[in-house]
Amino acid sequence: MLKRKLGALEVSALGLGCMGMSFSYGPPADKKEMIALLQTAVEMGVTFFDTAEVYGPFINEELLGEALAPYRDRVVIATKFGFKLDPTGRERWTGVDSRPQHIKEVAEASLKRLKIEAIDLFYQHRVDPDVPIEDVAGAVKDLVQAGKVKHFGMSEAGAQTIRHAHAVLPLTALQSEYSLWTRGPEKEILPTLEELGIGFVPYSPLGRGFLTGKMDEKTTFDKNDFRNSLPRFTPEARKTNQSLVDLLGEIAQRKNATPAQIALAWLLAQKPFIVPIPGTTKRARLEENIGAVDVQLSAEDLRDIETASALINIQGERYPESMEKMTGR
């Protein structure tokens, strides 16, 4: 597996997003199977694993803690703070909370669940409008100085917030949604990250599965699958957005690859500091995704994708309005 740099942190060119193993896409997957899959990923060269306390909550961190313990010296584990969890358990989270004391409490709990002595990369999961970002960065700086965190990251933050945080504690990475059907970061975020030397970790690089070509407007989801609530996943939107998948399929045929591999190869071709984190619960998909690292898109391929995708109008917002308000701050 090729390596890439997120700031000063070296990781595999493709990471593994672990949320779907425990959270959001229906019931949690079988624990033994996921432990085997995580360990297979390490053996195949993946060194970068992404989780968060809210995934479950808690059970995803516990899963990674158990699965990756034998490989601690070979892996980089990223987790996140910043949500207010519902103590009743009826809701997974009830808002954001990046108060410095809460950040430190989350770090201590995550360390225990992950069975590690220091968190490799600690992201603020969403910006908290009630806590100055300088205070957030200061709290993480305290954790770095205490040896409990190695690198600081943010998720779905706006350019000015990134600059203000970076001035207090240099950011290693920003994690935000980015793919061929979610291109918002290109205008302002990517130039800011490049200027400041911050890495970029696109989540949902396969459009929550849509860009793989494995679903259409007739596909149904488990009742607990959060895609049921996303405007972009209504049957009407999926039917309209199918043209983007068709484009990926055409390029895939040309390159003897799959649509998913083209979508990931396109991301890798955008900037050398981009490390996508596609998620999966299946070994075959893991192998397919890793294969994207070997797919080389020529300048002509990239021009063709750009020209054709510019004519496609993606239907549907990526989140409901209540969640969309929490991004880009």
178 belongs to the catalytic site:
no
- What burial class does residue 260 get, using C-beta atoms within 10 Å of its C-beta: 0-12 exposed, 13-18 middle, 19+ buried? buried
One-letter amino acid of 71: Y
Q: Are 278 and 17 in contact (CB under 8 A)?
A: yes
> Which residue, chain included where needed, has tokens 């990526």?
318
Burial 196-223 (b: 16+ CB within 10 A, else e): bebbbbbbbbbbbbbbbbebeeeeeeee
Residues forming beta bridges with residue 124, ordered by sequence position = 81, 154
Sign of dihedral through CA atoms 217, 223, 225, 226?
Answer: positive
> Which residue, chain included where needed, has tokens 């407007």?
217
Q: Are 154 and 80 in contact (CB under 8 A)?
A: no
DSSP of 38-69? HHHHHHTT--EEE--TTTTTTHHHHHHHHHHG
The 8-class DSSP code of residue 96 comes to E
* CA-to-CA separations, 182 to 126, 194, 267, in angstroms, rounded: 18, 19, 11
The 8-class DSSP code of residue 29 comes to P
| Pairwise CA distance, residues 25 & 27, whole Å | 7
* CA-to-CA separations, 184 to 51, 59, 179, in angstroms, rounded: 23, 31, 9
- Show which residues are catalytic: 55
